[in-house]
Amino acid sequence: MSHERRHYVRVAFDAPARLAVSGHGTFEVRVLDVSLQGALLELPPDLALPQGTPCALSIPLMTGPEQIAMSGELAHLDGACAGLQGHTIDLDSVTHLRRVIELQLGDPALLERDLQTLVSAHRGRSVPVQPAMGH
């Protein structure tokens, strides 16, 4: 995806995560960056998935049992890297993700702009929000 088409700030976030892929199982992946709308992932070398594959990402946080959980689809693939376009995220995960992005950005105004864009994009229709996993 070109940078011109992105509406959300992405921040570097090097962390292990689990990717549950519909019909293929669950895999250990590495998160390279995140935004309110998705993540860039490093996939295992032997994992070949087509663009558009539905999946769910779980990023455990080092601060405790909390995690960021996001469902979506693989929007693009480039070698061992894949871009996850998020479609649904639970409220607890949005809160944790917001904190991660704030810490990385150092500028809350950029994040507020992203949150306004997210709300505006869903104005007039329901925003898909799932209950927090494990609660």
Structure confidence by residue, pLDDT tens digits, 55-94:
999 999 887 789 999 999 999 999 899 999 999 998 899 8
Cβ atoms of residues 13 and 104 within 8 Å: yes
With a CB cutoff of 8 Å and minimum separation 6, the contacts of 98 are: 36, 111, 115
* Architecture of the domain whose range is 3-119: Beta Barrel (2.40)
Q: What is the DSSP string of 7-20?
A: -S--EEEEEEEEEE
The confidence score (pLDDT) of residue 62 equals 82
pLDDT per residue as tens digits for the range 26-56: 999 999 999 989 999 999 998 889 999 999 9
Please give the span between the terminal C-alpha atoms of the chain, in angstroms, as a whole number.
34
Report whether pLDDT(18) > 90. Answer: yes
Report whether pLDDT(131) > 50. Answer: no
Distance, CA of 43 to CA of 80 (rounded, Å):
5
Distance, CA of 5 to CA of 42 (rounded, Å):
22
